[in-house]
Amino acid sequence: MHGEASDGEGGGDTQVMQQETVPVPVPSEKTKQPKECFLIQPKERKENTTKTRKRRKKKITDVLAKSEPKPGLPEDLQKLMKDYYSSRRSVIELEELNLPDSCFLKANDLTHSLSSYLKEICPKWVKLRKNHSEKKSVLMLIICSSAIRALELIRSMTAFRGDGKVIKLFAKHIKVQVQVKLLEKRVVHLGVGTPGRIKELVKQGGLNLNPLKFLVFDWNWRDQKLRRMMDIPEIRKEVFELLEMGVLSLCKSESLKLGLF
């Protein structure tokens, strides 16, 4: 009897021990709770960072996207020149950069195609073209921001140019020496290209600016980032450097006219 009782008590002890081990998973549930709290905080931080990024993008793009297109005016070019040279020139030198209104052709009012605009500013193009016989020069230069844009402009001016010879004046896939030889071999009437390559050709003596009658800037066109050519610092710098290579003096002598397309 005592043995059976002891066995019964022993069995009871084992049951108690088993019952005491049952609540063991409870602390594991408690340990899970702080993990859930830690996971929530990084999510809030990510949301904050994405919100700030979205706000920054809006500041850059929305202003340009929502702004109404305004045609370029001579005053715009004059102002850009003053801003560019203000820290490098004296007051007297800045005044010398001012171009008279007579230097400027009628600006594009955003209703023109390139051909219609060129016909308006140069109604005697056929006569000018026939009288031009000087090599290493052009009668009209159209300056734009890229090679791709230059090709677009060349295609869109077919109605204006007629039998006039056109030369591509950009760096992409064309060496300077090739362009120099082309200008030496034949009479060219129109040049379309980027300010950097045109500046290099003038510097090397491959392009003489003295016979130039019209210099047209592709002023109002915007690229995929909504930038006009003069909004791009590198292009703006090259344009002003080109203007100083004889263009400004030709404008002041009224032998060269400037147009903003």
Domains in the chain, please, with CATH? 68-260 (3.40.50.300)
Question: What single-letter DSSP state applies at residue 231?
Answer: G
**What are the pLDDT digits (tens) for 72-106?**
999 999 999 999 998 888 888 888 888 989 999 99
Q: For the ranges 39-48, 172-181, 234-243, which has the lowest average pLDDT? A: 39-48
38 exposure class (CB count in 10 Å sphere: 0-12, 13-18, 19+): exposed
- In this predicted model, what pLDDT tens digit does every residue of 182-206 receive, in sequence order? 999 999 999 999 999 999 999 999 9
Furthest CA-CA distance within the chain: 138
- Helix, strand, or coil (residue 204): coil
Which are the contacts of 100, defined by CB distance < 8 A and separation ≥ 6? 252
pTM: 0.74
